[in-house]
Structure 1
């Protein structure tokens, strides 16, 4: 036994194990230190999870618009889901009534089918023949969105940028059962495009109804819109924002609050006020 332990070949046999153990310890130490234990919802793993800003790319850059249209904008599916009865919420009925049940209208819905919620535009599409664009950042919810087989709606897997240029961020996926608690979560990289860029890519600068859910960044998203170049009639905004900031922005841009529901504000463009404003004469 003593001769075996003192064998000259023993160090050579344990050297690979020692190197592996040392390397493993170093990697795990760096991995542990790279997490912010005080903020489990916003952990960063090395540098590759930090937000990336592409401030040199203008939101109306033709090459960028062509890229979004070719790579990220998904056309409506070829097959159509047959549904005998569509669910419809009170918000959608109010929008339809404001527009006198307009047929063949246009919509843009940001946050469609988020966390098990109903779409605010599905009934408008199925019953009134509307067409438009669906936006969803969460990968799981985007899969749900595509499974709906919306035959008159293009879609894009992206978040809305709070700036007038694209970004790339680390996105925290929240399952329906998570409820936002500090449990285990999945993190993924998601591209964020300015809303105006998506409107240009979808060739939709005239929109009857914009349903906006941007997880608290709604006002920032609206501020990126060059409203002198787009015409949006009805805008609904989730109640995740500072109401004063939202009202100030909407009032300045000639929108009036038509309905305030438990979870959403619904605004309508005041056409008469707009026509009498300096913006109309530009």
Structure 2
């Protein structure tokens, strides 16, 4: 019990540090030498932003490792789920992916829009039952604070995925499971909004030394296509995806066309009568031919 309590307190401390979204270095080698790399020093703080910072910039990758990744819970620590009797929390997406991958074990996932790490999670079953590892991405600090208490066996990060091929900072609307990037200016004091660091998916994968993603779950309330357009598919092997199409300003045909041009095909569409799922299931053509 003492070990569990100490672990939980440690993770909460890590989360508090991560959710500051900035690193505090003062006038040292980072702030003095890297202003030209898109580092924005403000009152001895910095954030990563701007097209000057390339997705594979070593300074960016090092910064992600040091300040934006929370490690997985130790396997000796039990899960702390609110509804542990629900075996598969997904709304159908995970079942389709398991069907494609034939219940693959020990894969690697990325779940963007991870919410609290349990509710309608598309990856929890794979982690618990099939031994997968992965990365949970959740931008809303309120959701992320709940996520880390679930003791997931995956890395987690309190950021949003960039909609541009470089780091950026946005105003994020906090709205439980439908929070999203807003149109408000960064720094504006608006109730229910918080400024959030966004990082490219490719940069996160480089920070984790991951080149193969067996399943990418993407649900970011209307910015799915923009996120997909940042991914260098020639440099990372993403084998299957579930991508929400319900909220996008660009219609689902645009999303489908983009992925087909990148070498994917639609395996299925997953829908739910209460709109709890409206997703394409994409599979890589070279790996899963018709």
**Do both proteins adopt the same fold according to a TM-score greater than 0.5, normalized to the shorter chain?**
yes
* Distance change >3 Å, CA 82–CA 162, structure 1 → 2: closer
**Distance in 2 between the 1:148 and 1:231 partners?**
29
> Partner residue of 1:162?
163
**Distance in 2 between the 1:176 and 1:104 partners?**
28
Of 271, 276, 281, which residue of structure 1 is paired with 2:286?
A: 271
> Partner residue of 2:175?
174
* Distance change >3 Å, CA 120–CA 100, structure 1 → 2: same
Segment of structure 1 superposing worse, 213-222 or 110-119? 110-119
The structural deviation recorded for 1:118 is 1.6
Report Cα offsets for 1:196-243 as digits up to 9, x if no partner.
111111222101000011221111111111111100110110122321
* Distance change >3 Å, CA 248–CA 177, structure 1 → 2: closer
Structure 2: gaps (5+ residues): 1-46, 180-189, 272-277
The structural deviation recorded for 1:85 is 3.2
Query: Which aligned pairs between 1:1-282 and structure 2 lie closer than 5 A?
Result: 53-78=49-74, 79-81=77-79, 85-88=85-88, 89=90, 90-113=92-115, 117-151=119-153, 153-175=154-176, 185-239=191-245, 240-241=247-248, 242-262=251-271, 263-271=278-286
TM normalised by structure 2 equals: 0.70
* Distance change >3 Å, CA 177–CA 52, structure 1 → 2: closer
**Distance in 2 between the 1:125 and 1:273 partners?**
23
The structural deviation recorded for 1:175 is 3.8
Q: Please state which structure has a larger fraction of its residues in helix.
A: 1
Report Cα offsets for 1:39-63 as digits up to 9, x if no partner.
xxxxxxxxxxxx9942110011011
* Distance change >3 Å, CA 54–CA 117, structure 1 → 2: same
**Distance in 1 between the 2:66 and 2:178 partners?**
35
The structural deviation recorded for 1:261 is 1.5
RMSD: 2.5
Aligned length: 218
* Distance change >3 Å, CA 144–CA 53, structure 1 → 2: same
- Secondary structure class of the residue paired with 2:155: strand
**Distance in 1 between the 2:213 and 2:72 partners?**
18
Structure 1: gaps (5+ residues): 1-50, 179-183, 275-282
TM normalised by structure 1 equals: 0.72
Contact 1:174-1:185 at 8 Å conserved across structures: no
* Structure 1 runs (4+) greater than 4 angstroms displaced: none
